[in-house]
Amino acid sequence: MMLHHLRRNYKCIAVYPAFSTWKPESGSDSYAIMSMGKFADEEQASLYAQYRPTYPETVFKTIVEYLNRGSTLERNSQDSFDLAVDVGCGSGQSTVPLCKYFKHVIGYDVSETQISHAPDNMENVTFKVGPGEDLSFLADGSTDLITSAQAVHWLDRDKFYAEVRRVLKPGGVCAVYGYGINRLDDLEAQTINEQFYKDYVYPYLHECSKLCYDHYKFIERPFDNCQLIENDEISIRREMPLEAYIGFLASASSWRKYLQSHPSSDVLHKLAEKYRTIYKGASISVHWPVFILIGRKPV
């Protein structure tokens, strides 16, 4: 029997203390279907392409090593698997690193705007537009790997996982992953960072994003054998100019929601001034914990 850690009508409650005060929005659906067109506006797509952190190579090595352990073929490090599909690929940050491991990679996203920011000069990558729950362009048993970075919590997972089980080859792998709340290197700056999240992120966060903030501990799983991988080797660490870090904060969907009711807000400007006083022109060291929920279609 497949593990289902949440029923469809379950209201997602995060384990962090600050989350216990969150209230679901009136009339909100606990499943934000990808076809709603998340991240469709041009400005946010541009911010995502510029400022969202990229995953370290260790994330992709971890996924491919897991895939390789279950392969029915003898392979060496120079062999490539046939096909990987990155669902909810955005502008391709999580798609391009797969190219070295697969003969063909497909990046797939519901947003045409996001796809317009994806690279168009990769020989073995194709980008397609469509809802993540519909993989009808893939044949049964045709795919070695399905990935989804920071996106599966927006999908109707019953439909998505049914498609995953259909299109994966026996022994094929589904890996859904993401990163949690970031931390800054300076104690004073981190205190300010936490206050920003408390005031301007948590109150505007969609229920489904809470699944991501909880590192997918309470999300449904496509296979009984799924495991959650979390360790420091796959975490993201970046040295960022102040402007880039503010750009990262501005790209968050919760911040965009806040701006809808506060269009003239100068909160980020004031936040930047506080960080500027602390860092005095130096770069900001930022750390994001990364988690990978990974499982294999039975052979």
pLDDT in tens, 187-244: 999 999 999 999 999 999 888 888 898 999 999 999 999 999 999 999 999 999 999 9
For the chain, which domains are there? Answer: 31-182+207-237+287-296 (3.40.50.150)
Asked whether residue 106 carries a pLDDT value surpassing 70, the answer given is yes
| Residue at 203: amino acid letter | P
d(CA 260, CA 262): 6
d(CA 107, CA 128): 6
Answer whether 155's CB lies under 8 Å from 176's CB: no
Radius of gyration of the chain (CA): 19
- The SS3 call for residue 100 is helix
Token digits of residue 86: 């990155």
> In 156-266, which ranges are continuous DSSP H helix?
157-167, 187-196, 207-213, 242-250, 253-261
pTM: 0.80
User: Parallel, antiparallel, or unpaired for β 168-179 and 102-109?
Assistant: unpaired
Asked whether residue 20 carries a pLDDT value surpassing 50, the answer given is no
